[in-house]
Amino acid sequence: DTSKLWGGRFTEATDQFVQQFTASVGFDQRLAREDIRGSLAHAEMLSATGILSEEELAHIRQGMATIEQEIAAGNFRWSAELEDVHMNIEARLTELIGITGKKLHTGRSRNDQVATDIRLHLRSAIDLIGVELTRLQKGTIALAAANCDTIMPGFTHLQTAQPVVFGHHLLAWNEMLERDHGRLMDCRKRLNQSPLGAAALAGTTYPIDRHRTAAALGFDRPTENSLDSVSDRDFAIEFCAFAALLMTHLSRIAEELVLWTSAQFNFIELPDRFCTGSSIMPQKKNPDVPELVRGKVGRVNGHLVCLLTLMKSQPLAYNKDNQEDKEPLFDTIDTVLGSLRAFADMVPAVRPKTEPMREAARRGFSTATDLADYLVRKGLPFRDAHEVVGKAVAHGVASGEDLAEMSLPTLQGFCAAIGSDVYEVLTLEGSVAARDHLGGTAPLQVAAAAERALARIMER
């Protein structure tokens, strides 16, 4: 049949396969709430400007209320024949209220309609993500504040480098997440403009009020250019770029959690509720949640590349290509929300195993730099001090002793300037406490940093 909403100029029915192939209702029905919200704002504006009567507006409101109920109750009949969420809802409205339903689309196109729907949907998603991200940050900071003097080895190249406190390590995670939050808010700011009124591409001949619909939908202002409004999806790409970075950070955290739960590190205990067992090996407790989050970075990175590629070389204005924006965007939202939720629940429940952490820091010559700094204070140039300590470490590697375990005569054999006060700098506590400046790992600095981190969040 040629009975489509746009069927006027057609002389034959759409090919069956083409109908299926071009339909988006299977996935864009997720935009139903935003679609109705946008339609109501549009209809209200049409009535305020005299394009629709107040009675017609009342009918549209009634019809939409019924449709919302039907969708919520799960008995709205979605039809692929009606292609997408917009035409499904409009057709049902006309079924319900008759001729007035056909007037709703006055001064509007699906092109500005869908651009509005996606922005509204993404904006709500961003707000939910912001809440979960904040929850994760608060949990991380609280754990940090409780571990300002829990000593662990710090690493470079995953080789023991210098002792740090666990709280300092956790606050490093928080800094990554803090920047992610900033990027999320930047993205929200730029997307929060209303494309409604751009119509198909050039605007409309009706005396519409774009400021009115923008305000009704909580947008900061209407978009500036109608061609741009219906065509660009850079806001979705920007969100996916935020998501890719966030997931990258979560994967780094995940990787450390996985390493730390291993018998070889034995730094932390993950509560059983975040782990699963093996169907064959009875002893196993696997850190599935961090592993899964680490793995999910793949799909989010994929979606970013997908959207960039989708947008690339598209001529102005709207092209059907853009229908392909939804599935990657929705999956990115779901993946980010799920991963954040899992981490916000799990991270605060991480229990550090303070003795093994400390023991690991004690081994591995983590205070070698402190010894070099000590020699500098005794008058050696740093490069010579480095050389002396290197020799002492080589001796320790061969003899199986750590620096603090070597006798004073042994140490003096490497450099006569070494005195009995050397053992103070070779202690782990002395080492971390000495890094006493903004951004350093001294326990007092870390405690202050945790307070500042929390205060920053409270100011949001």
CA distance 245 to 241: 6
Tokens read off for 97? 């209220």
Q: Out of 42, 103, 108, 110, point to the residue binding ligand ARG (CB under 6 A).
A: 110
Give the binding range for ligand ARG (CB under 6 A) out of 67-75, 110-118, 341-349, 357-365: 110-118
Binder of ligand ARG out of 24, 231, 301, 332 (CB under 6 A) = 24
CB of 108 to ligand ARG, least distance (A): 11
- The minimum distance between CB 111 and ligand ARG, in angstroms, equals 5
Say which residues have a Cβ less than 8 Å from residue 269's Cβ, sequence separation at least 6: 261, 350, 351, 353
Take residue 203 and report the two structure tokens written for it: 């605007």
Paired strand residues for 286: 276
DSSP state of 14: P
Considering only 106-114, 123-131, 142-150, 231-239, which stretch makes contact with ligand ARG by CB under 6 A? 106-114
Using the rule CB under 6 A, give the single segment among 209-217, 220-228, 304-312, 315-323 that binds ligand ARG: 315-323
385, 317, 329, 346: which is closest to 250 by C-alpha? 346
Shortest distance, position 168 Cβ to ligand ARG, whole Å: 48
The reply to whether 111 sits near ligand ARG by the rule CB under 6 A is yes
Selecting among 53, 79, 262, 278, the annotated active-site residue is 278
**Containing H/E element for 237?**
helix 234-261
Footprint of ligand ARG on 227-286 (CB under 6 A): none
Indicate which residue of 3, 157, 313, 407 is catalytic.
157
> Which sign does the torsion angle of CA 6, 7, 12, 15 carry?
positive
Return the residues of window 112-131 that contact ligand ARG according to CB under 6 A.
114
Question: Which of these ranges, 107-115, 170-178, 395-403, 441-449, lies near ligand ARG under the rule CB under 6 A?
Answer: 107-115
Give the closest residue to 68 by CA, choosing from 99, 120, 32.
Answer: 32
| Region near ligand ARG per CB under 6 A, out of 217-225, 233-241, 317-325, 357-365 | 317-325
313 is catalytic: no
Is there a catalytic annotation at residue 229? no
Give dist(CA 410, CA 401) in Å, integer.
11
Nearer to ligand ARG, 84 or 180 (CB): 84
- Least distance in Å: CB of 261 to ligand ARG? 44
335 neighbors 298 (Cβ within 8 angstroms) = no
Regarding 9 and contact with ligand ARG (CB under 6 A), the answer is no
Site for ligand ARG in 57-86 (CB under 6 A): 84
How many CB atoms neighbour CB 347 within 10 A?
23
Compute the distance between CA of residue 353 and CA of residue 163 in angstroms, rounded to an integer.
Answer: 15
Question: Judged by CB, which is closer to ligand ARG: 149, or 331?
Answer: 331
* Contact in structure between 250 and 321 (CB atoms under 8 Å): no
Q: Of 322 and 335, which CB lies nearer to ligand ARG in the complex structure?
A: 322
| Secondary structure letter of residue 286 according to DSSP | B
Closest approach of Cβ 36 to ligand ARG, in Å? Answer: 15
Contacts of 444 (CB under 8 A, 6+ apart): 148, 433, 436
Alpha helices in 347-406 (DSSP H): 354-362, 368-377, 382-399
Look up residue 81 and give its two tokens.
């024949």
Is 105 or 123 the residue whose CB approaches ligand ARG more closely? 105
Instruction: Work out whether 323 is an interface residue with ligand ARG (CB under 6 A).
Output: yes
Of the ranges 108-116, 307-315, 380-388, 392-400, which one interacts with ligand ARG (CB under 6 A)? 108-116
Q: In angstroms, give the least distance from the CB of 323 to ligand ARG.
A: 4
What six digits make up the tokens of 384? 């010579």
| In the complex, least distance from residue 322 CB atom to ligand ARG, rounded to whole angstroms | 5
Work out the number of other CB atoms within 10 angstroms of the CB of residue 128. Answer: 14
Q: Where are the alpha helices (DSSP H) in 53-205?
A: 54-73, 85-97, 110-145, 166-191
Please give the positions annotated as active site: 157, 278
Contacts with ligand ARG, residue ranges (CB under 6 A)? 24, 28, 84, 110-111, 114, 320, 322-323
